[in-house]
Amino acid sequence: MNLWKVIALGAPLLVTVNAAGAIDLNGAWASDTDNCGKVFVRQGAQLGFADMSDVYGGGFIIDGDQIIGKFARCRIKARKDSGPNVNLIAACATDIMLSSVQFSLKELDADSLVRLFPGMEDMEIRYHRCPK
């Protein structure tokens, strides 16, 4: 499976640094807030993915410098905030591949963001932070 497809379907995006003006990306993010309970499940103190989470649009979890998706785990290596935009460089691993991935995000509000795909102006994926 193409790594971009894996990331777009279930592992996309980010991390936060507690710097002044930095956008807080921590939390569970789903493509539809109404499906948060179908995408994520609590496993003890940890939040994980439901078995069929990708059927409901998927999502990702950001915890510190880690981006956790259903099929990949990434560690943020670099971050640049520019107003509502955040650019990330992450080292990502799947069961079969390691790669460096760039994420471009735009904050819509405190609980909504869009993943942008530079060079593909009409392509974007919206995500909403799930309640804790």
Decide which of 112 and 15 is more confident: 112
Which one of 13-17, 74-78, 93-97, 114-118 scores highest in mean pLDDT?
A: 74-78
Q: Pseudo-torsion of CA 92, 112, 50, 8, nearest 10°? A: -40
Residue 14 has pLDDT above 60, yes or no: no
HSE-CB of 113 using CA atoms within 13 angstroms: 30
Q: What is the mean predicted confidence (pLDDT) over 15-41?
A: 81
Q: What is the mean pLDDT of the chain?
A: 85
Mind listing the pLDDT tens digit for each residue in 120-130?
988 999 999 99
What pTM value is reported for the model?
Answer: 0.79
CA 65, CA 19: separation in Å to the nearest integer? 13
HSE-CB of 6 using CA atoms within 13 angstroms: 20
Residue 7 has pLDDT above 50, yes or no: no
Mind listing the pLDDT tens digit for each residue in 35-88?
999 999 998 888 999 988 888 888 999 999 999 999 999 999 999 999 999 999
Phi and psi, residue 117, nearest 5°: -125, 95
pLDDT category, 132, cuts 50, 70, 90?
Answer: confident
